[in-house]
């Protein structure tokens, strides 16, 4: 059986088109989740906020999952290193 990280990477790869991005957040405690908002208005927006704690490491797993590990949790998103833009080239965009 594959390790958990490799299974998640394969699952994310198999379940998505190249244009979509999926993420997962795994927190060690519910206390580290500070806000979850499910809007009930005309927009179907969702806001999830919390803390991963102090940064332990940030790396790419199998060149397709950016994994940010903190003392209180882990954030994973299917993103390749070549898709990152340098700050001077990136444009600030707000999700609407």
pLDDT tens-digit readout, 37-55: 887 766 778 889 999 999 9
- Please give the pLDDT value at position 17: 54
pTM over cut 0.85: no
Q: Flag whether pLDDT at 74 surpasses 60.
A: yes
pLDDT of residue 60: 93
Number of domains forming the structure of the chain: 1
* In a domain? residue 42: no
pLDDT at 16: 47
Residue 92 placed within a domain: no
Residue 75 placed within a domain:
yes
In order of 29, 32, 33, 70, 78, the CA distances from 50 in angstroms are 10, 6, 4, 12, 20
Mean pLDDT throughout 43-71? 91
In a domain, 40, yes or no: no
Domain membership of residue 15 (yes or no) is: yes
In a domain, 93, yes or no: no
Q: What are 1-25's pLDDT values in tens digits?
A: 556 666 666 665 555 456 788 899 9
20: containing domain: 4-34+47-83
In a domain, 66, yes or no: yes
């Amino acid at each position: 059986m594959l390790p958990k990280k490799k299974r998640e990477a394969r699952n994310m790869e198999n379940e998505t088109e190249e244009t979509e991005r999926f993420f997962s957040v795994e927190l060690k405690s519910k206390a580290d989740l500070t806000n979850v908002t499910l809007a009930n208005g005309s927009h179907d927006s969702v806001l999830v906020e919390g803390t991963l704690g102090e940064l332990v490491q940030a790396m790419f797993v199998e060149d397709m999952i950016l994994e940010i590990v903190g003392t209180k949790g882990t954030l994973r998103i299917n993103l390749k290193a070549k898709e990152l833009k340098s700050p001077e080239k990136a444009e600030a965009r707000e999700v609407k």
